[in-house]
Amino acid sequence: MVFHSTVLFVNDINVSKDFYIHLLGFSVVNDFGKNVALSNGLTLWEIGPDYVITRKLKTRSKSNRFEIYFETQNIDQAFQVLSQAGVSFLHPLHEEPWGQRTFRFFDPDHHLVEIGEPLDVFVNNMSKRGLTPAQISEKSGIPLGKVVGLIWK
């Protein structure tokens, strides 16, 4: 058995497809109408009211029991694009206690989405601000040897 994808149950496949393709920049791998597989391993699925999942679960609720996490080399640009698009944010771009910059927002079906900097980017950003490898390790919880290996020369 191997992991295939994460499926988001959506209310309107066209609205969600537009959001993930045009705002987040993913492409379509397979489009079966109400079921769309995206290039990042995410699948969007608009299930009807008579489908067994809809009947057995509350798929149309706005509860947030998980988040979808993405990374980008250019977090400032990603935040700007989504801000200009009027996305509803849980919080704006900020630095987490471990030194990574992130922001969280909601997709059209109120799924929680996080975008953060990759490990090497946020380690190097702390280094550029003058933190030593030991300080970065202490702040981030990343082992010192790994921090040293991540710092660009």
pLDDT in tens, 9-50: 888 999 999 999 999 999 999 999 999 999 989 999 898 888
Q: What percent of the chain has pLDDT over 70?
A: 92
Q: How far is the C-alpha of 139 from the C-alpha of 131, rounded, in Å?
A: 10
Domains by residue range for the chain, with CATH: 1-59 (3.10.180.10)
Q: Give per-residue pLDDT as tens, 119-135.
A: 999 999 999 999 999 99
Q: How far is the C-alpha of 153 from the C-alpha of 151, rounded, in Å?
A: 6
CB 88 within 8 A of CB 106: yes
| DSSP code string of 44-85 | EE---TTSHHHHHS-TT----S-EEEEE-S-HHHHHHHHHHT
pLDDT at 67: 80
The amino acid sitting at 60 is R
Residue 62 has pLDDT above 70, yes or no: no
Name the DSSP class of 11.
S
CB 43 within 8 A of CB 8: yes
Residue 58 has pLDDT above 70, yes or no: no
Q: How far is the C-alpha of 104 from the C-alpha of 83, rounded, in Å?
A: 11
Its pTM surpasses 0.85? no
List Cβ neighbours of 125 (8 Å cut-off, separation of 6 or more): 99, 101, 117
The amino acid sitting at 22 is H
List Cβ neighbours of 70 (8 Å cut-off, separation of 6 or more): 24, 40, 113, 114, 115, 116
Q: Give per-residue pLDDT as tens, 73-116.
A: 999 999 999 999 999 999 999 999 899 999 999 999 888 899 99
pLDDT at 3: 74
CB 75 within 8 A of CB 116: yes
